[in-house]
Amino acid sequence: MDLNNLNFDDIYSKYYSKLVRFSKEYVLTKADAENIVQDVFLFIWEKRDSLDTIQNINAFLFRLVKNKCVDFLRRKINTEAKNKEIQDALLKEYNFKLYSIQQFDDSLLSDEEIDHIIYKAIDTLPEKCREIFILCKIEGLKYEEVAEKMNISPNTVKNQVVIALKKMKKELKDFMPLLTFLIV
């Protein structure tokens, strides 16, 4: 895929939110995640003429964000470790996040593979829970809309989504960053 022929606005629109959610899983604050993703898009814009062909734009973007997150976490760990008042728990959290993102295999990030893994996990949910989850997270309906459509209370919808996300988290434990595609 030639980046010179890609519509930058389309790529930005399709991937920005996903990349921010992915990054936020590791860097903890939305502002830091947004800065990382902005840096990635700035890099792509500035280097668009020298980035000949990209076979998988999805994997390419996630790899760039992953690498930026690793750099960010390493700097954060080095900075925080020097601060004597830092809580051990926070330092452990950063180290865990760094380890976790380094272990993430971004080579399987084609859109088709992501969809397959996510839908396989969704299929493990109980029928009613799965139906509510799909309506809320895949089709984008609000809790109230789903409640009205299924003739149940909005609280029941919310509870079922929470249950589904817990089960999905367990099912996708080896693919934690994929949850960023589900949590809107």
Higher pLDDT, 142 or 110: 142
Q: What is the pLDDT of residues 18-41, one digit of tens each?
A: 888 888 888 878 899 999 999 999
In order of their start, the domains of the chain are 3-105 (1.10.1740), 112-181 (1.10.10.10)
Cα separation, 162 vs 182, whole angstroms = 12
Q: Is residue 47 over pLDDT 70?
A: yes
Residues in the chain: 184
Cα 83–24–76 angle (5° rounding)?
A: 20
Q: Which amino acid is at 83?
A: N
pLDDT of residue 63: 82
Burial 141-160 (b: 16+ CB within 10 A, else e): bebeebbeeeeeeeeebeeb
Q: What is the pLDDT of residues 92-121, one digit of tens each?
A: 666 666 666 666 655 555 666 767 777 888
Q: Is residue 42 over pLDDT 80?
A: yes
Residue of 61, 48, 55 whose CA lies nearest to 22: 61
Q: What is the pLDDT of residues 154-177, one digit of tens each?
A: 999 999 999 998 888 777 766 655
Q: What is the helix (H) or strand (E) element at residue 63, kind and residue range?
A: helix 57-82
Mean pLDDT value across the chain: 78
pLDDT of residue 155: 94
Q: Is residue 55 over pLDDT 50?
A: yes
